[in-house]
Structure 1
């Protein structure tokens, strides 16, 4: 695995971080120089959300594009940025004020906590664990302990903060696992080409890999793990500012409405994304696009009967995660979930007219290719690639 990497911030920032992954899997960062914060109109000016994956040309962010198309953000000035492919950039940019909201995995969020970034999770997108391990056909396993002594491919060194707790929670001795940083977006191709024994993957990406002729079988976290998945984080201080807090409630309401829209009409949500990214539309097509979004809806929705609404944190799940990463040394001190995760914005974010959103979704006009799809048939085969 690469032992050191760095990212350069866009104009106006002179602060650099150097990523260090120790033999124990502890991720640390050193900040060099002074940080120059961008000037912002009150409460935010243009509100910038930053991706964890270095690209926006994916279906993962469908709630935003569906909500934007439907006008659910109203007059809020919003912006989406892909960010660098460095796995920890999504928290670093928020920390230094170059972005307002990031979308880290729990592991990358723990990196922020370990390094003293004053961030808080305010909207838990991934109610179920989205992460999985891909294997070449015929080489998959339902017992991750068999990965001891073997090699797992990652797209970024920072992803070890995702895989270590997931493996440890399944009884794997993580000291016996080797990681290789195979690069973004080529780590899946590397697995198909015979490198490594497994590769980290996630829901939604499974369908995208099929479009690239990467046909794997999977151990699925969504079926086997109790850990949480990616979440929206902001600077903790923003919650102490009444104007910014009010803005966040309205902004997250747009996302919640987009999530509801996608649940009610997944095909229309895919079309909203495809309109933004024609190349993605060409590469995936209606059926695989709908398959991808249905995988993600399963993660984002979770068991809604037990949640306070879209974005609600299951504090027991988060506490289990923090206890696990403290046990394996990914963080040096215990973390109380309620100190870094909050549901205070969930009520306001879900305070919208669900009947209107359903009517909007039901009334969305579909193109011929999407209208011809049988969504229930796709749902019936959603987990066909899981290891049997």
Structure 2
């Protein structure tokens, strides 16, 4: 991989500036570094330039249903700049406390010496996909050699390279074009490339804007997986911070469980928070979007120790693959940079209460009319046939 493609290293004390028209303002930690509490303020940062999406539904559910009420310290929720690596950079320098990078961007952090650990693996299945114009899709990704894939951010090459490589593609023969956020999909529609990176949930959002593609779907075809929550490794060594992280992640786990039990309610909660998203999607496409994401976040729960559990064997396969690609220069042992130590506590919640909360949520008439089982039956209709 061309290392310059992911250029942008920074000093550990660098203050990340965002323009006046930017999307995030993250407060700097106290200059002395001293804190009266485990965290003076706990900040989650997204991997995108916006939080007005359905993707983070578990947070909004947890907030609405009171699953974060026992934290004691405010849990802030911020969009990151559209730079694809900001979600790890901000955590590394202490301007955020937990980030949500793709595995490829996490590997970028490790390659650049950031002392981060994956603490809660959100995406058990591969959320990523390749979008094609109708009639141009393929399930043989080797045919992409010599062709162009459009990306919203240059950093996304670290997502696509391993996804292609495990399918036998010679990634040195694939051209990438950074077509910009959020315009890379419209560039595909306009014929400016042969394929574009997509992901579950986004498929439904693109339909709402008239971008109806066909897809090679990672959730059906890839042995890899999706984004994860990363924290500073040193925070896991602090008993107070670790206890806070366990409580915080328990809120997320409860939100994930609630949405699994009542996906329509989870979408309605997001719509209350973001009216623009509600106006763009509506109940049916919104529910389609969340069902796509629930499949990724849940994975095969019969093989997981709970929400957020890491499959260390799969992670090792990923690290071995990207080392072979040259995406990282030194081998990585999965157990050194991924941990399941927070998972038992994160999943130690009252299942009956969450079930009662989900069952008792009063849906609006519009959402009550959505046929969830019918949507599930057609969830992958956009997949390339044959």
Give the TM-score taking structure 1 as reference length.
0.93
Aligned to 1:27: 6
2:209 to 209, 212, 216: 212
> Is the alpha carbon distance of 1:276 and 1:326 closer, same or farther for their aligned partners in structure 2, counting shifts above 3 Å?
same
Deviation at 1:35, TM superposition (A): 3.3
Are the aligned partners of 2:204 and 2:289 in contact in 1 as well (CA < 8 Å)?
A: yes
Deviation at 1:217, TM superposition (A): 0.2
Are the aligned partners of 1:157 and 1:181 in contact in 2 as well (CA < 8 Å)?
A: yes
Aligned to 2:285: 288
2:243 to 238, 242, 246: 246
1:345 to 333, 342, 345: 342
- Distance (Å, rounded) in 2 between the aligned partners of 1:124 and 1:31: 26
- Distance (Å, rounded) in 2 between the aligned partners of 1:320 and 1:24: 21
Deviation at 1:25, TM superposition (A): 7.4
- Distance (Å, rounded) in 2 between the aligned partners of 1:100 and 1:111: 18
Whether 2:227 is the aligned partner of 1:230: answer yes
- Distance (Å, rounded) in 1 between the aligned partners of 2:117 and 2:249: 14
Are the aligned partners of 2:5 and 2:154 in contact in 1 as well (CA < 8 Å)?
A: no
2:137 to 136, 140, 157: 140
1:74-112, Cα deviation, whole Å (9 max, x unpaired): 142111100100000000000000000000000000000
Structure 2 counterparts to residues 236-275 of structure 1, below 5 A: 236-275=233-272
Whether 2:189 is the aligned partner of 1:202: answer no
Instruction: Give SS of 1:141's match.
Output: coil
| Structure with the largest fraction of strand | 1
Deviation at 1:49, TM superposition (A): 0.1
Whether 2:86 is the aligned partner of 1:95: answer no
Aligned to 1:46: 41
- Distance (Å, rounded) in 2 between the aligned partners of 1:62 and 1:179: 31
- Distance (Å, rounded) in 2 between the aligned partners of 1:72 and 1:34: 34
1:95-149, Cα deviation, whole Å (9 max, x unpaired): 0000000000000000000000000000000000000000000000000000000
Are the aligned partners of 2:13 and 2:93 in contact in 1 as well (CA < 8 Å)?
A: no
- Distance (Å, rounded) in 1 between the aligned partners of 2:337 and 2:8: 19
- Distance (Å, rounded) in 1 between the aligned partners of 2:250 and 2:376: 27
Aligned to 1:74: 69
Aligned to 2:51: 56
Which structure 1 residue ranges, 5 or more long, are not aligned? 1-21
Whether 2:323 is the aligned partner of 1:332: answer no
Are the aligned partners of 2:6 and 2:154 in contact in 1 as well (CA < 8 Å)?
A: no
- Distance (Å, rounded) in 2 between the aligned partners of 1:249 and 1:285: 34
- Distance (Å, rounded) in 2 between the aligned partners of 1:200 and 1:351: 36
Instruction: Give SS of 1:152's match.
Output: strand
Deviation at 1:32, TM superposition (A): 4.8
> Is the alpha carbon distance of 1:114 and 1:24 closer, same or farther for their aligned partners in structure 2, counting shifts above 3 Å?
closer
Whether 2:307 is the aligned partner of 1:314: answer no
Aligned to 2:103: 106
- Distance (Å, rounded) in 2 between the aligned partners of 1:124 and 1:162: 16
- Distance (Å, rounded) in 1 between the aligned partners of 2:310 and 2:12: 35
Root mean square deviation of aligned Cα: 1.2
Instruction: Give SS of 2:9's match.
Output: strand
Are the aligned partners of 2:12 and 2:93 in contact in 1 as well (CA < 8 Å)?
A: no
Are the aligned partners of 1:125 and 1:311 in contact in 2 as well (CA < 8 Å)?
A: yes
1:263-319, Cα deviation, whole Å (9 max, x unpaired): 000000001111110000000000000000000000000000110000000111110
Which structure 2 residue ranges, 5 or more long, are not aligned? 16-27
Instruction: Give SS of 1:30's match.
Output: coil
Whether 2:307 is the aligned partner of 1:304: answer no
Give the TM-score taking structure 2 as reference length.
0.93
